[in-house]
A and B are shown apart, each in its own frame.
Chain A
Amino acid sequence: MSTTKPTDAPRQIPLGLARRGYCGVIHRLAADGTGSALSAMELESRLIELGFVEGARVEVLHEGIVGRDPIAVRIENVTVAVRRREAMAVIVV
């Protein structure tokens, strides 16, 4: 169901690795193996409830002080703070 061409694949990164100023679109959620304390299902549910769904535009607005963590992400019209560990579940292009 992905609309991106295979040649675009290298541009896919987890949001958890994005730096301040990054702009992109959510490609898919991959909640498995992020090391979050939540189960993959719970993490995915919460991300969706905060508006992280495929096709949503995201921008990394701010980074925390220690280890640039957490990050403040603008998703469409909402700003949400998440830790990078959880943001690893969001694959953006």
Chain B
Amino acid sequence: MHLALVGTPNSGKTSLFNALTGSRQKVANYPGVTVERKEGFFVTPRGRQVSVVDLPGTYSLRGRSPDEEITRDFVLGRAKGESLPDLVLCVADSTNLRLTIRLLLELKKTGRPLMLVLNMFDIAQRRGVTVDVTQLSDLLGIPVVTSIAVRKGGTSDLLQRTDEIGAQEPVGTQQNLWQPLSIAELRATQREADRIIAATVSLPAKPDTWTARIDAVVLHPVAGIIILGLVLFVMFQAVFAWAQPLMELLSHAFGALGQSMHDTLPAGLLQSFVQNGVISGVGSVIVFLPQIVIIFLFILLLEDFGYMARAAFLMDRIMGGAGLHGRAFIPLLSSFACAIPGIMATRVIDNRRDRLTTILIAPLMTCSARIPVYTLIISAFIPAEQLWGWVDLRGLVMFGLYAAGITSALCVSFLIKFFMLRDYAPAPFMLELPDYKLPRARSIAIGIYTRAKMFLQRAGTTIFAMMVLIWFLASFPAPPAEVQDPAINYSLAAVIGEALVPLFAPLGFNWQIVVALIPGMAAREVAVAALGTVYAIEGGKEAADQIGQVLATKWSLATALSLLAWYIFAPQCASTLAVIRRETGSSKWMALTFGYMLMLAYAASLVTYSVAVALGAG
């Protein structure tokens, strides 16, 4: 049996999807477009195998963005390679039925079997909303069930009705009578929805007092901005401070593992490969898992709480000054985790100009893959001091790097608006501000689990492959037998690095850095692993465990700062570039992104290095 979940944004569709399927989820893309396709599986109490697809949220079937087109085509059976759903579940936030009932009236025209799910029913009851479910079902002419997605057993009603519907003989295929609605028809459906709601739902006189109270502070012109700043500041302090103990633990574990491999295996190529290539390489990337989990924890918490829409509201005009749409705030904030989901999330922006601008600057947001590079250099070169007794100096530098990324993104956006895309008029900002909800641990856990899995898979495949390549380049050809200096100086890596060094010498980069930047094209964090491998092969096993200390002795402060500046802009991330090409449908925008970031990176490093040397840090 195939189900499809349809609903307006914020209807709790995703939490219902998580409640039904748990971790049995498959995330892919719809063929030909880049809209994320989430499918999950579950078994009903009577043992029926069910697959369920979570469709993008929409207010109507008009399909004014690629996401909404997917929802429409899926429901109408027009989507390529998809079978018609046997049952469409229209998910509604029980406290807010108006817009969903209108959508439902439109869905009814498609002739698909429908069921209305009154989700978050507990919240509605607590607020004094009463719904005459039987009468609502009669007036709509479809089954209606209540559900509490976040509570155990909260979907039992839904499962039972699904079983009953699945057991029925199909009542012959109903005709699809849906056509795009005219304005008069739209208005008529909203009136009809209001009439049905008036007959079946009684609303409390007062809206949600908690939401009103929180908004009075959070959306306050002064307090709101201060709170937004604090939230971001705490987030970055947490990423640096909370993750530290766990990271040290992981780092020691990999060091011990490498050492035990070193002791077990006979000296030679295999030993070097396992210890320097595999364990120290992949290990140095996996060490950053705690930080990635923390940043996603914050993003998911803020999203589930309902704060993200408020942040967009607060930032709309401020970002508007830089030529950005308020809705771009969410994709840009996601880009702090990774530019790829961020760029994919720009699909919520339906104006092409706004969307392109957001895509072009998304890679400037400091993604989590840069954290390993920043952390490594900061801990090697910046002393662990407290300023004014409570501000961690290292955390402050980290914050500064993030701020530099954001500032440059705003400047670039302003330039794009001014020089390139002048002919587009600004798009409207229209966004529902959902009531606040307590985030649920289970839903957050599933979200973090999916992201952590993706990160580890990348560490296990792309990064592993790159590490093998680096190890190979750094180990072959073998040096002549009688020489004393490190073997790597005779390797292919040294040849490549030294060939490129003249280009990078003005930035203070040595050939080891240049070698590390090349595989960093696959993923930025690989640069750390690559440095680890290069110095491990050069300096022996101690170097791999203590790469930070090695760097502190081999690089000047100016070089370190220059590399930090480079990484604010660093264009090297092949997957981001690939996503940009896919999302914009042209190589032109990809080439432009790569070009402008490379230029900025070079310029920033050059300035940083020259200034630092002039100040005596060379």
What number of A-B contacts does a CB cutoff of 8 Å give? 118
Most buried by B among A47, A56, A78, A85: A78
Tell me, in angstroms, the Cα distance from A75 to B497 when the chains sit together.
Answer: 63
Asked if residues A77 and B318 are in contact (CB atoms below 8 Å), the reply is: no
Given contacts A48-B186, A66-B318, contact A61 B215 (CB under 8 A): yes
Chain B interface extent, by class: 35 or more
The answer, yes or no, to whether B69 is at the interface (CB within 8 Å) is no
Nearest chain A CB to B498 CB, angstrom units? 52
CA gap between A47 and B316 in the complex, in Å: 19
Query: Across the interface, which residues of B come within 8 angstroms of A56, CB to CB?
Result: 194
Q: Determine which of B64, B98, B211, B316 lies in contact with A51 in the assembled complex, contact meaning CB atoms within 8 Å.
A: B98
Q: Do A70 and B219 touch across chains, with their CB atoms under 8 A apart?
A: no
| Interchain CB contact under 8 A, B317 and A48 | no
Give the residue of A50, A63, A64 whose beta carbon is less than 8 angstroms from that of B99: A50
Whether the pair A69, B430 counts as a contact (CB closer than 8 A) is no
- Taking a contact as CB atoms closer than 8 A, the residue among B186, B187, B326, B425 that contacts A70 in the complex is B326
Q: Contacts of A80 on B, CB cut-off 8 Å?
A: 430-433
- Among residues of B, the one whose C-beta sits closest to the C-beta of A72 is B433
Residue of B102, B194, B351 near A37 (CB, 8 A) is B351
Total residues of chain A contacting the partner, CB 8 A: 38
CA distance A74 to B219 in the complex (A): 14
The distance in angstroms between the C-alpha atoms of A54 and B435, with both chains bound, is 24
Q: Which residues of A contact B313 (CB under 8 A)?
A: 62, 64, 70, 72, 81
Contact pattern, A 27-51, Cβ under 8 Å of B = 1, otherwise 0: 0000000001110011111111111
The answer to whether A48 and B429 have CB atoms under 8 Å apart is no
A12 sits at the interface (CB 8 A): no
Q: Which residue of chain A is the closest to B189 with respect to CB atoms?
A: A48
Provide the bound-state CA to CA distance between A3 and B186, in Å: 22
Name the distance in Å between B154's Cβ and chain A's nearest Cβ. 22
Closest to A31 in B: B183
Chain A residues closer than 8 Å to B312, beta-carbon distance: 81
Q: Is the interface of A mostly helix, strand, loop or mixed?
A: mixed
| Cβ–Cβ < 8 Å partners of B96 in chain A | 77-78
Query: A83: which B residues are within 8 A, CB to CB?
Result: 316, 428-430
Residues of the A chain whose Cβ atoms lie less than 8 Å from the Cβ of B316: 64, 69-70, 81, 83
Interface flag for B348 (CB, 8 Å): no
B contact residues around A77 at 8 Å (CB): 95-98, 203, 207
Closest to B312 in A: A81
B109 interfacial contact with A, CB 8 Å: no
Q: Is A23 an interface residue (CB 8 A)?
A: no
Task: Mark out the residues of chain B between 193 and 242 whose CB falls within 8 Å of any chain A CB in the assembled complex.
Answer: 194, 203, 207, 211-212, 215, 219, 221, 224-225
Complex contact A79–B428 (CB within 8 A): no
Distance A61 CA – B433 CA, assembled complex (angstroms): 11
Partner of B428, one of A48, A76, A85: A85
Whether B139 is near chain A, meaning CB under 8 Å from some CB there, is no
* A81 and B431 form a contact (CB under 8 A): yes
User: Is B1 in contact with chain A by the CB < 8 A criterion?
Assistant: no
Q: Which residues of B lie under 8 Å from residue A48 when comparing CB positions? A: 183, 186-187, 190
Would you call A67 an interface residue if the criterion is a C-beta within 8 Å of the partner chain's C-beta atoms? yes
Per the bound structure, the CA–CA distance linking A48 and B490 in Å amounts to 71
Q: Which residue of B lies closest to A43 (CB)?
A: B428
A65 an interface residue at 8 Å Cβ cutoff?
yes
Tell me if A70 and B99 are in contact (CB < 8 A): no
Bound Cα distance from A62 to B212, whole angstroms: 10
When distances are taken between beta carbons in the complex, the residues of chain A under 8 Å from B207 are 74, 77
B430 touching A82, Cβ below 8 Å: yes
Contact of B194 among A47, A53, A63, A72 (CB under 8 A): A53
Q: Is A79's CB under 8 angstroms from B187's CB?
A: no
Query: Which A residues are CB-close (under 8 A) to B432?
Result: 50, 78-81
Bound-complex Cα distance A54 to B320 (A): 30
Chain B's closest residue to A65 (CB) is B221
Structural contact, A36 and B428, CB atoms closer than 8 A: yes
Q: Are B183 and A69 in contact (CB under 8 A)?
A: no
Contact between A51 and B62, CB atoms less than 8 A apart: no
In the complex formed, the residue of A with least CB distance to B8 is: A49
Question: Would you give the shortest CB distance from B311 to chain A, in whole angstroms?
Answer: 11
11 A-B residue pairs with CB within 8 Å: A49-B99, A50-B99, A56-B194, A64-B221, A65-B317, A70-B317, A70-B429, A77-B207, A78-B99, A81-B429, A81-B433
For the complex of A and B, the 8 pairs showing the least CB-CB separation, nearest first, are A66-B317, A37-B425, A49-B59, A79-B433, A62-B219, A65-B221, A86-B428, A81-B313
